Amino acid sequence: MNTYAGIEIVVYFAVLLAMVKPLGWYMARVYRGRPCGLDAVLAPVERLLYRLSGVNPDGEMSWQKYAVAMLIFNLLGIVAVYGLQRLQGSLPLNPQELGTVAPDLAFNTAVSFASNTNWQAYSGESTLSHLTQMLGLTVQNFLSAATGMAVLVALIRGLSRTSTETIGNFWVDMTRSTLYILMPLSLVMAIVLASQGVVQSFGPAAEATLLDPTTDADGQAVLTQRIPMGPAASQVAIKQLGTNGGGFFGVNSAHPLENPTPLSNFLQLLAILLIPAALCYTFGEMVGDVRQGWALLATMLIIFVPLVGLGLWAESAGNPRLADLGIDATATLQQSGGNMEGKEVRFGVGTSVLWAAATTAASNGSVNSMHDSFTPLGGLVPMWLMQLGEVIFGGVGSGLYGLLIFALVAVFIAGLMVGRTPEYLGKKIEAYEMKMAALVILIPPIVVLAGTALAVSVDAGRAAIANPGPHGFSEILYALSSAGNNNGSAFGGLGANSIFYNSLLGVAMFVSRYWLIIPVLAIAGSLARKRQTPVSAGTLPTHTPLFVVLLAGIVVLVGALTFLPALALGPIVEHLQLTSMNS
């Protein structure tokens, strides 16, 4: 890694942290229904939407009604995206005249985008029409992100309210998340990205004459190149801000028409963590103690930053087998240095690793380099960030409510250690909350490990592996870790567009999204019914460095105990093989 990359990383964190408070404050006012600046323009639109849809914005919901509304709305989204793909051959805005998407791939894609996973077993420019990309995928990018934010706000109300049966109104929370937060940010981002050269058009692919003609595999002359076009800037904006990650083009943000300049790269990378980080401050504002939000953000950072450092060290060191051949991988003014396989020269090691860590920490899944080409330890970093449960930033809303579940576990363990009933923000944490929390924490590892075991046990699973040995196992483990934690990134060597993987990963994405939301809402309802317990000398402060360390330790310990044996069969043994061959 060169000096410039180091400076960029420092500037990145500085800008990100500087934006946490203003955006977090703004979102807190939006969810409280207070003046936020944009309400003068958007409030009439919001009221019109309620009238047209028959929603009473003052009608509160129990957690059960909130959950039912969420499930019905999301299931309808899955059906709509599936139908668009199956019918796209006869629908308009299809200049490339692309045909119907296969049933298994359509199912996988529909679940993927509705669940905020955005796993893609296809190349967008050669599979989906402009209409499907816009009306199906881009719309779900907004709605799936808003769903996670709505569930988080419901949980915050459960923590801040007392002696009530209601946790808010799902339709109001969805509307405000989309109208006041996601749409304005995406509009600004899309305009800026288009100014940088990200394409935004409705036309067919452009034909360009090659300056250096070549031949194809059959020896035929190739004189032109088809350059895919389409409404990319609008989709890229919300894919990053909503931690969705689905690429308009097959190679995602490594494509020069999706991420053309250093500024577009920086802004997209900033957008990935922006809302998840700012929601920590929103949480502090809404519970009446901003120190609580800063403590959660600090927990995320003390896990995230060292893992970024590990990835930078591994990728900057390069491949020791190449060093044996006398190849100099040292970073200089003339070369990026390190392991550059699968990376864009214009981004280099530093930005590629930072993006890989951010996109897997934040449940985003977009890539500007190929994770399959990382060194074993470099690839372990994004894989383990997913396996921690996507609570280090995580998806918009979903990451923070996942970390709050770990916070409940942390105070419960601390209470057992001192022989006192655990409390969090004045609410007693009892057996019911712990049972629901156990479901939230245990379901993703069960999905990941059981799915991986199934995939390596059957011929259909093994047939998709492009590389033998431990790296092939890592490709499968990464795919299930991605689907089982609603991330969406991939080790590109796995041929996942098959009936087996489309079905397996589709089920994994569905279970890991909605079977987690239900117990989270159940906890919100349970906490909302409880009275506030006054702070006493025995209350564990949850805004101190001690609690931050305790919470981070529990997150890391659970992730290590759960996945270390599997990681030992993949990236760890691959690293040992690589270094032993070198010695």
The answer to whether position 217 is within a domain reads no
Count the alpha carbons within 13 Å of 47 in the hemisphere toward its beta carbon.
6
Q: Locate the DSSP E strands across 228-308.
A: none
Closest alpha carbon to 68 in 526, 528, 517:
517
Given the structure tokens 């809302």, which residue do they identify?
275
Please measure the distance between the N-terminal and C-terminal CA atoms of the chain and give it in whole angstroms: 24
CA 411 to CA 54: how far, in whole Å? 42
Cβ atoms of 357 and 369 within 8 Å: the answer is no
For residue 193, count other CB atoms closer than 10 A to its CB: 27
Residues contacting 352, CB < 8 A, separation 6+: 315, 343, 344, 368, 369
CB 272 within 8 A of CB 278: no
- Tell whether 221 is covered by a domain: no
Tokens 């959660």 -> residue: 296
How far apart are alpha carbons 419 and 415 in whole angstroms?
Answer: 6
What DSSP state is assigned to residue 227?
A: E
Q: Residue 156, Cβ neighbours under 10 Å: how many?
A: 27
Q: Using CA of residue 548, residue 274, residue 157, residue 408, what is the dihedral sign?
A: negative
Determine how many CB atoms are found less than 10 A away from the CB of residue 255: 22
Show pLDDT as tens, one digit a residue, over the chain (583 residues). Answer: 567 778 889 999 999 999 999 999 999 999 999 999 999 999 999 999 999 999 999 999 999 999 999 999 999 999 999 999 999 999 998 988 899 999 999 999 999 999 999 999 988 888 999 999 999 999 999 999 999 999 999 999 999 999 999 999 999 999 999 999 999 999 999 999 999 999 998 888 888 898 888 888 888 888 888 888 889 999 999 999 999 988 888 888 999 999 999 999 999 999 999 999 999 999 999 999 999 999 999 999 999 999 999 999 999 988 887 777 777 777 666 677 788 889 998 888 999 999 999 999 999 999 999 999 999 999 999 999 999 999 999 999 999 999 999 999 999 999 888 777 799 999 999 999 999 999 999 999 999 999 999 999 999 999 999 888 999 999 999 999 999 999 999 988 899 999 999 999 999 999 999 999 999 999 999 999 999 888 877 788 999 999 999 999 999 999 999 999 999 999 999 999 888 765 5
d(CA 531, CA 428): 9
What distance in Å separates the CA atoms of residue 182 and residue 359, rounded to the nearest whole number?
Answer: 18
523: nearest Cα among 402, 418, 351? 402
Residue 220 lies in a domain: no
R_g (Cα) of the chain, nearest Å: 23
Task: Show the tokens assigned to 34.
Answer: 């207070």
Residue 554, in any domain of the structure: yes
Q: Considering the domain boundaries, does residue 216 fall inside one?
A: no
Residue 214 lies in a domain: no
Q: Which residues 6+ apart lie within 8 Å of 41 measured at CB?
A: none
Within-domain flag for 309: yes
Return the closest-CA partner of residue 160 out of 40, 286, 305.
286
Query: How many angstroms separate the CA atoms of 444 and 391, rounded?
Result: 12
211 within a domain of the structure (yes/no): no
Question: Which string of b and e fits 97-134 if b means at least 16 CB within 10 Å?
Answer: ebeebbebbbbbbbbbbbbbbbbbbbebbebbbbbbbb
Give the range of the structural domain holding residue 137, as residue numbers without chain letter.
3-206+227-582
Q: Kindly give, in sequence order, each residue whose CB lies less than 8 Å from that of residue 531, ignoring residues fewer than 6 positions away.
A: 162, 163
Question: Please, is 516 exposed, middle or buried when counting C-beta atoms within 10 Å of its C-beta (0-12, 13-18, 19+)?
Answer: buried
- Residue 348 has which token pair? 């280099």
Query: How many H helices and E strands in the chain?
Result: 22, 4
Q: Are 516 and 440 a contacting pair, CB within 8 Å?
A: yes
Please report the pLDDT score of residue 333 as a whole number.
Answer: 65
Task: Count how many domains the chain has.
Answer: 1
